[in-house]
Amino acid sequence: MLCDGRAAFINCTHPMLLLGYFSLLPPREVVIELQDKVPADEQVRAACQGLKQAGYGIALDNFVPGDSREPLVEYADYIKVDIHQFPVEQCAALVTRHASPLCRMLAIKVETRQDFVNAKHSGFMLYQGYFFRQPERLRARQIPAQQATYVRLLQAVAKPTLDFTEIEDLIKREPSLCYRLLRYLNSPLFGLAFPVSSVRHALSLLGERETVRWIRMATMLVMVQERSSDLVLSSLVRPVSANFWDRK
């Protein structure tokens, strides 16, 4: 499980949504959080429809009155509103307009008891903010990455026919990538009855299509963000369970 059985809200940019990297995550444990700059064009609507059909949750972050993402509300399981941006009356109007049994309104930046009272009076049923719990600092081991190896890997998976021996050799040259791959395959996500202890075994389990997808995702994390993490995607996953409170 990604967050001990709780939903993980993942910030999603426009390119991330269209590239389909989220298909590597368990749908019932993930909510894709669309940022305010994501357009509501046909490509985005099709991507949202595909995510919903696959069982993923969708949230619209920093939603405002007259938001350009209103065409995406039909796909949203959560709409997040910064209660400090608008008066109580305007927040209440957003709740009245968009709340439904299928779409839950979530008040963010609830910092004080008065913020909580205002959000409650506005009709919000979910709340997020430091009023409930302060964030916790986590430590992660950093393993330096050799970008030249990642470039060669991208070249290898771009070939018409994959050479798994070549890919295996390149992955073995990069300790951080070996660690990520084996950690990924041995995670509870797959629920394998036996441990995966070799790169060759891991690649055979993934298959050609998922190997290409995984390598492209892993190289993007390192070469674009210039950082590595203990678990693939952990730098993207932002659990909100620590300050996410649901009124019963």
d(CA 185, CA 145): 20
What fold characterizes domain 8-138+235-246?
TIM Barrel (3.20.20)
Domain with CATH 3.20.20.450 in the chain: 8-138+235-246
Q: Tell me the three state secondary structure of residue 34.
A: strand
Q: Round the CA-based radius of gyration of the chain to a whole number and report it.
A: 20
Asked if 125 contacts 104 with a C-beta cutoff of 8 angstroms, the reply is yes
For 105-111, what is the mean pLDDT?
95
Confidence of residue 223 (pLDDT cuts 50, 70, 90): low
Confidence of residue 222 (pLDDT cuts 50, 70, 90): low
Residues 6+ apart with CB under 8 A from 139: none
Q: What is the pLDDT of residue 146?
A: 64
Q: What angle do CA 134, 136, 137 make, to 5 degrees?
A: 140
d(CA 200, CA 181): 11
Residues 6+ apart with CB under 8 A from 7: 29, 30, 31, 57, 239, 240, 241, 244
Question: Highest mean pLDDT: which of 177-181, 189-193, 224-228?
Answer: 177-181
CA dihedral 223, 178, 20, 12 (to 10 degrees): -60
d(CA 49, CA 235): 25
What's the whole-model pTM score?
Answer: 0.60
Q: Average per-residue pLDDT in the chain? A: 82
Confidence of residue 140 (pLDDT cuts 50, 70, 90): low
pLDDT tens for 44-71 read: 999 999 999 988 999 999 999 999 999 9
**Higher pLDDT residue, 92 or 179?**
92
pLDDT tens for 157-166 read: 888 889 999 9
Closest CA to 232 of 244, 246, 247, 217: 217
